[in-house]
Amino acid sequence: MCDTIMALFPAFAEVSKSEIEDTSKELDWLNNTSFQTGDAISLHSRFLEKSIEKPNKREESVPKDFTSSAEEERGKSDGPPKKKKKKSEKKRKKKKKHKKKSGTHSSTSGSDSETIYPSDLKREEERIRKQSSLGTHFSWLDDIQSPTEHLFCVDCKSDAANWTYKSLYRGDVARYRRKGSSTLGLDFHRQGVSWEESDTKKKKKKARVNGNTADRYFSVVTRKLLRAEPPVSVLPATPKSSDALTSTSFLPLDDVERDNTRLQSGDKAEASVNPLGVYDSSTTLWLQGKGQQDHLKQDTEPEEKSGYVTGRTEEFNRRLREQPGDTQLWIQFIRYQDELSAAAFGGDEEQQGGDLAERPKSSYRAILEKKLSIADKAVETNPTCIALQLERLRICQELWEPSTLAKEWKKLVFLHPNSASLWRRYLLFTQSYFSSFTVTKVNSAYGKCLSTLSAVRDGSMVSHPALPGTEEDMLDIFTQQCHFLRQSGHSEKTISLFQAMIDFTYFKPDSVKNLSTKQQVDFFETFWDSGEARVGETGARGWKAWMTQQERGGWVQPPAEEEEEEEEDEEEVKDRSQPRGAVWLEVESSREAADWLPWRPDKAKGQSEEDCEDPDRQVLFDDIGPSLICLSSPELQLRFLLSFLSFLGFPVNFVLSAAPYQPSMFLENLSLLTQGAEVQRPLTSFNLPETGINSVGHMTTLQGTRKWLGLGKQGEKFLGNVFSMLQPVLPPPHRAVLSLSWILYEKLKVLRCLHSGNKKRLRVQGKRSKRVAKRLLKEPDNRSSLVLWREYAHLEWMLSNLDEARKVFSTATAMAGTKGLSSPALCELCLLWSQLEVENTAQELGGVTDVTTSPAVVVLTRLAEGTSSSSSSQTVSPVSILKARRSYEQSLSSSLSSLEQAIQNHQLDEKGAQDDPEEERLRLRGLVGCYALFQYLTVSIQAAIAVYSQARERMEELRRSLTPESQLTSDATMHGHHVSRLASDCEALAVQQAALLKYNNNVGVCPLATLRQALTSALSAWPCSAALWSIYIQVEDRYHSAGRARRFFHAVTRDNGSVVPRLFAIVAEQQRKQLVDAAQRSCCLDEALPILPENGLSNRIRGLFEGAVSTEMGGHCPLLWRMYIHFLVSEGKVDKARGIFYKALQNIPWAKGLYMDAVQLFPEHLQEFVDLMTEKELRLRLPLEELDILLED
């Protein structure tokens, strides 16, 4: 049978045999001609032989003696086992386990010596490579002298880099480490590359975190350990007694000698048990019998550390079980949770408000829930405690939704409708909660509060009795509502509220006085809606006259007087080339200054409500009716009147008008921080203190200027109508207060003209102010008022009419007769006169050496003698000076004694009169100031300091003795008035002393430590005095060492919650930064610095701002937030400033000035800010649509 070759493809079955034989030649391209089969086989066989010979060589290398002995030991089956045998067996077992784990499969012969390990094969492979011929050696072609035709190498271990880099040389592979995550050529704002770490790096980092490597000092773990350390080494040990509060007042020191003897005895005992020194410390202690004791100590150390953290918790729990009704203890326990969380999460920055940024949100929420559970238990135990309820709501503010939180607040004020303090907190929450804030909602909340408290006061709400001081609290809340409306831009509603309250208080008909407040308001609504002229408008007669005339049949309308048409104002947009935001700010501010009065239709001109171009200028009775309250006390009526005058920009007596509940909410003006900086008036610059509160019509940016000095033409007319209407119905003392406020207002306008430097405006305003002052002095009640004569003389002095002013002073002293030092008003007049003379002498002559010819000494000596200062003699004898000093000393001692006796006997009555004899006895600032200035001019500055110290110590002691009684006695209002008057006098004396010491340092040589000590002691007692802080900053600003001032500011702000010292601390650092920046610029006169080098002051100022706004009062202070935003913009950090603006909105959403600052600093977001104001219902006088029309015209 012949063999047939089948074709792979049938289509080619006819191929000839020759073609089939030639197929091998056609497939030569598949063969590797350089590969020699023989070489490969010889190489493989040689490799196997070497691998088999290796174990044999290892056996031969073992010594014969050892081999024989090992064989003999293996043969002895009945002999005892050896240790070496056990060890070798363990090693072999270990190797077998390792071999199984590695997954290598090798054939073994029955004994361990024939086993081939992978490590041996690897070493053998390396050895073979070194000994192989050229065919098996890896080398470069350039290194070979005679390259062969067939050159190859064996690569036993594959390398992925060969395929990646197309190369076999290891040095050609790039090795590098990435530094950072940035990439060149990318836009950081829109593009980025995410570089993920390799697994090995992640493992290394994880090992570094979980390993035993030491953490840095700033890490969370280290801070947690530091905070967990009990301060046993610093504080004295707590005695093991039941009274945990008793502790030693010193740190006990150890007995060094006793410790040395103990150490020596311990060394001897150690030498006896360990003479050769071969035992370790633990064995030595165990031999001494001390091992068990030290072991117990080591075990108790962590227990003591954890016990210190939980020790106070156990103490709180024990005391709360024993005293569940102690509400303050519950509040302390709730606040203690913050300390525990700070100990768990790190340092002190968490306690200062940085916990939200540092701690995990889940942990912080857990802490809040823990505090809430404690608060719930506290409220359950004490359901009637309002403080615990408020603390609970404060915690819930960060946990609950706004709607739930609002319901809880409403429920709380419903359960306690007679608590004015609770209403204040509720109103502050409603006013400052941005998510639910609108002006209408807050205004209605104020109305609900005042109407509810009025019902409680009247007795209409039988379920809850009226608490003491309810009427005063109602007046404070009413004033706070007026400030809220003014700050939100609704000045028309503010003026309407005051108009209605003046009619409701001073012009109430007798027929409705015995009705409840709600019924009186219902009767008043008919008068308000009748269209009758209101207070301040032309032809106003009041509610009482209208009611009487209505009973008689109505008014006979007189013919309307034709009023001169007011000239139209200039164009509102003066420069259309300005940016859109600047034009909006200018027009908005001008309209605010011109149209702050509510609009009323003029019936004589046939106007109706539809003729009003701006509907928001009309005020409905529903907006103001619920806020009307009844004031029965004459003192409260005067306080209300002074509040109205302060809204109009009048300087008022702050003793008679009590301070508001939270004055920081009303601060908007930088004038509070810049007062007292006048070099020409070092002694009298604080006579008109600035309040930092804007008046009605002055709504502009933080650094904006007033359009008018006063209230404008319409405002002055409105003011004159109010005074003419109120003068007949006020008692004489109240009329005197009103006249004094008016003349102080005229002085303030003249002072603003002086600061502006416009001589023409000063001359015009001076004539007007003098005309008003003379008209007031011509009234019968004011002709003998030394207070008004004093202010008129000061007005002439400010206008540089010195001779005329001296004549007025002389006339006033002659009018007082021989009262002398017994008249406080005369003492204050002579004090002002002598201070002006001292300032004038220092400016003209630079100081007078002869005391007898000094004008100030003459004035003060004539005052002590009881004679008029208008005598022709302008000199005094030395004997007269000695007699005057004796008179001053006796008068001061007798006045202090009589004051103390009057307070102890409770013989002071509350008449509110300035000219009342009993009231005059409390006013000692004039007498003390005259005596101290007299001693300074005739003796030395030390004598003046002694006078101030004597008076202030006695008066402050009396004030402290009177303060507890004002809280316990039933007539707390009377004592509170006298406490405030004493406090005002003490503060005024401190300001006088500081101003005199500062003046003495400027004109003479005096140790600065005296002035600094006086300022620090005064500021520790009166930390809210802006005048004292201004002097302190001026003194410390002259010296480059800031450490002392910073420590003092920190000490004051740590113990005081007021925002005033924090504001001045910021101002001090800003002035220091300006000084440093100016010095750095002066170093490079030829070159302009593109940017100033960072000196750390910017970060310090930012830290002060952050600390201030994190406090309760600072968070609701508009001035503080506005200063913060301006500072960041001045530093070039615009984005951060915008962030702070939105953060400020969460705390003060009602402040329109904040929005105006934002428009000025971020004009590109004008549309956004205007929309926000519209959404929150703030007063918007110029919509953007109208602005576009004005710009087009």
Rounded Cα distance, 858 and 876, in Å: 6
Residues 6+ apart with CB under 8 A from 287: 273, 274, 279
Percent of the chain with pLDDT over 90: 36
In single-letter form, the type of residue at position 3 comes to D
CA distances from 924 to 49, 580, 737, 865, 914 (A): 122, 56, 19, 18, 13
CA distances from 1055 to 891, 1062, 1120 (A): 38, 12, 19
Judged against a pLDDT cut of 90, whether residue 662 lies above it is answered with no
Q: 809 and 793 in contact (C-beta within 8 Å)?
A: yes
Encode 668-692 in three state secondary structure: CCCHHHHCCCCCCCCCCCCCCCCCC
DSSP state string for 552-611: HT---PPPPPPPPPPPPPPPS-S-TTS-HHHHHHHHHHHHHHH--SPP---GGGT--GGG
What angle in degrees, to the nearest 10, is found between the helix axes of 802-816 and 855-865?
A: 10
Q: How confident is the model over 97-130, as pLDDT tens digits?
A: 444 444 444 444 344 445 666 667 667 766 766 5
Region 348-369 average pLDDT: 58
Residues 6+ apart with CB under 8 A from 867: 818
Rounded Cα distance, 536 and 524, in Å: 18
Query: 1065: which 2 tokens?
Result: 């601390």
Count Cβ neighbours within 10 Å for each residue of 206-217 and write b for 16 or more, e otherwise.
Answer: eeeeeeeeeeee
Region 376-380 average pLDDT: 91
Q: Flag the least confident range among 8-22, 334-348, 600-614, 854-868.
A: 8-22
Rounded Cα distance, 227 and 344, in Å: 7
pLDDT of residue 609: 77
Q: What are phi and psi of 289, to 5 degrees?
A: 85, 15
In single-letter form, the type of residue at position 597 comes to L
Rounded Cα distance, 464 and 1086, in Å: 77
pLDDT of residue 1171: 94
Rounded Cα distance, 819 and 387, in Å: 53
Rounded Cα distance, 454 and 518, in Å: 8
pLDDT of residue 603: 73
- Residue with the larger pLDDT of the pair 926 and 26: 926
CA geometry: angle 456, 458, 460, nearest 5 deg: 65
Q: Flag the least confident range among 58-67, 551-560, 859-868.
A: 58-67
pLDDT of residue 279: 73
Region 1115-1119 average pLDDT: 93
Judged against a pLDDT cut of 90, whether residue 1156 lies above it is answered with yes
Judged against a pLDDT cut of 60, whether residue 300 lies above it is answered with no
Region 715-729 average pLDDT: 91
What's the N-to-C CA distance of the chain in angstroms? 120
Query: 957: which 2 tokens?
Result: 């002691």
Residue with tokens 């004002």: 966
CA distances from 937 to 810, 940, 1191 (A): 21, 7, 64
Judged against a pLDDT cut of 60, whether residue 231 lies above it is answered with no
Rounded Cα distance, 475 and 956, in Å: 29
Query: 292: which 2 tokens?
Result: 């068990």
Rounded Cα distance, 759 and 799, in Å: 10
Query: 635: which 2 tokens?
Result: 């003192």
pLDDT band at residue 659 under the 50/70/90 scheme: low
pLDDT of residue 722: 93
Percent of the chain with pLDDT over 70: 67
User: What's the residue count for the chain?
Assistant: 1193
| Closest alpha carbon to 830 in 779, 868, 874 | 868
Helices (H) and strands (E) in the chain, counts: 49, 0
Residue 768 CB burial class (10 angstroms; 0-12, 13-18, ≥19): middle
Q: How many CA atoms lie within 13 A of 651 on its CB side?
A: 15
Rounded Cα distance, 642 and 1123, in Å: 29
Q: Which of 275-284, 448-457, 545-554, 952-961 has the highest mean pLDDT?
A: 448-457
Q: How confident is the model over 449-492, as pLDDT tens digits?
A: 999 999 999 988 888 888 998 999 999 999 999 999 999 999 99
Region 77-92 average pLDDT: 46
**What does the radius of gyration of the chain's CA atoms come to, in whole angstroms?**
46
| Closest alpha carbon to 1151 in 1130, 1169, 1167, 1131 | 1169
Rounded Cα distance, 195 and 201, in Å: 12
Q: 1099 and 1069 in contact (C-beta within 8 Å)?
A: no
What ranges in 909-1025 are assigned the alpha helix state H? 917-920, 925-938, 941-968, 972-1003, 1008-1021
Q: 1046 and 1066 in contact (C-beta within 8 Å)?
A: no
Q: Flag the least confident range among 134-143, 683-692, 973-982, 1130-1139.
A: 134-143
Judged against a pLDDT cut of 80, whether residue 728 lies above it is answered with yes
Judged against a pLDDT cut of 60, whether residue 1129 lies above it is answered with yes
Rounded Cα distance, 1056 and 1048, in Å: 12
Q: How many CA atoms lie within 13 A of 731 on its CB side?
A: 12
pLDDT of residue 213: 55
Judged against a pLDDT cut of 60, whether residue 1100 lies above it is answered with yes
Neighbours of 971 (CB within 10 A): 12
Q: How confident is the model over 910-947, as pLDDT tens digits?
A: 444 344 444 555 678 999 999 999 999 999 999 999 99
- Residue with the larger pLDDT of the pair 93 and 571: 571
Rounded Cα distance, 529 and 1192, in Å: 40
pLDDT of residue 368: 87
Encode 55-71 in three state secondary structure: HHHHHHCCCHHHHHHHH
pLDDT of residue 706: 73
Q: 780 and 688 in contact (C-beta within 8 Å)?
A: no
Q: 337 and 367 in contact (C-beta within 8 Å)?
A: yes
Q: Flag the least confident range among 132-141, 285-294, 544-553, 869-878.
A: 132-141
What does pLDDT average to over the chain?
Answer: 77
What angle in degrees, to the nearest 10, is found between the helix axes of 712-726 and 491-506?
A: 10
Rounded Cα distance, 1113 and 1061, in Å: 12
Region 326-331 average pLDDT: 89
pLDDT of residue 1125: 96
Judged against a pLDDT cut of 50, whether residue 611 lies above it is answered with yes
Q: Which of 41-50, 474-483, 959-968 has the highest mean pLDDT?
A: 474-483
Encode 721-751 in three state secondary structure: HHHHHHHHHCCHHHHHHHHHHHHHHHHHHHH
Rounded Cα distance, 782 and 815, in Å: 13
Q: 870 and 813 in contact (C-beta within 8 Å)?
A: yes
pLDDT of residue 1157: 94
Residue with tokens 């493992």: 203
Residue with tokens 């016990």: 307
Query: 696: which 2 tokens?
Result: 């009605």
Rounded Cα distance, 927 and 891, in Å: 8
